[in-house]
Amino acid sequence: MNAARWKGRGRGMNTLVVYAHPDPASYVAAVRDSVLANLRMAGHHVRLIDLYADGFDARMTAAERGEHHHPRAVRPELDQYADALHWAQAIVFVYPTWWAGQPAILKGWFDRVWTNEIAYRLVDGARRPTPLLRNIRRLVVVTTHGSSKWLNAVEGEGGKRIVTRSLRAMCSRWTRTKWVALYDVDRATEAERQRFLRRVAHARLLR
């Protein structure tokens, strides 16, 4: 399917929201709620993964690493996540940016779930992995940063590159990315925080 044909199919997308914050009463939880309300109001079909509520174990075991090139069947504790990746047409990540990147639990989710025979296939002799998540056409990040946009740029925005380059490479060639961020959240006023929630609630996240 070419990009022009896909453009008219923005509504009613299967949308996976992946949320990572340890405090259920945090500001980022309010951001998550704004994201969910936005997507549902727009008519998308939404699944939520709350990694902390799931008790997701971010640690890759030695056995898992040893199976990297020749994986066995999907591990039972990862089944639901692999299924969600193959169901989704869009993924929205909601998390706080810490140390210029994703929280460890989310990075561990990438490490353990976006693996050989789930997100890509390693073919003997090939120069790069074969993407398996061609069903995914949108990758969106909604995040907060404790520091300024300028400082994040100086640091290199490693977390942003993981999503917009590395994860995107495992998806459709037509996949679009969007980055929605509140910078300097540690110094933001209540009015600024509320303004960002309204921005998230009314943004065209999957356009």
**Mind listing the pLDDT tens digit for each residue in 39-73?**
999 999 999 999 999 999 999 999 899 988 888 76
Give the phi and the psi of residue 45 in degrees, each rounded to 5. Answer: -95, 115
Closest CA to 59 of 114, 20, 104, 116: 104
Amino acid identity of residue 144, one-letter, is T
Grade residue 6 by pLDDT with cuts at 50, 70 and 90: very low
Q: Looking at residue 36, what is its pLDDT?
A: 98
Q: Using the 8-state DSSP alphabet, how is residue 56 labeled?
A: -
Distance between CA 38 and CA 134 in Å, rounded? 25
Between 101 and 2, the more confident residue is 101
Q: Looking at residue 11, what is its pLDDT?
A: 63
Q: What is the mean pLDDT of residues 199-204?
A: 97
Distance between CA 29 and CA 35 in Å, rounded? 10
SS3 content of the chain, % helix, strand, coil (to 5): 40, 20, 35
Q: What domains does the chain contain, in order, with CATH numbers?
A: 3-202 (3.40.50.360)
Q: Looking at residue 98, what is its pLDDT?
A: 96
Q: What is the dihedral of CA 195, 41, 37, 182, to 10 degrees?
A: -40
State the pTM of this model: 0.91
- Residue pair 197/34 in contact by the 8 Å Cβ criterion: yes
Coil/strand/helix, residue 166:
helix
**Mind listing the pLDDT tens digit for each residue in 97-140?**
999 999 999 999 999 999 999 999 998 888 889 999 999 999 99
Q: What is the mean pLDDT of residues 137-160?
A: 90
Closest CA to 119 of 132, 136, 138: 132
Q: Using the 8-state DSSP alphabet, how is residue 74 labeled?
A: P
Tell me the β-bridge partners of 46: 15
**Sign of the dihedral defined by the CA atoms of residues 156, 160, 113, 104, in that order:** positive
**Distance of CA 119 to CAs 85, 102, 133, 170, 202, Å?**
8, 19, 6, 6, 31
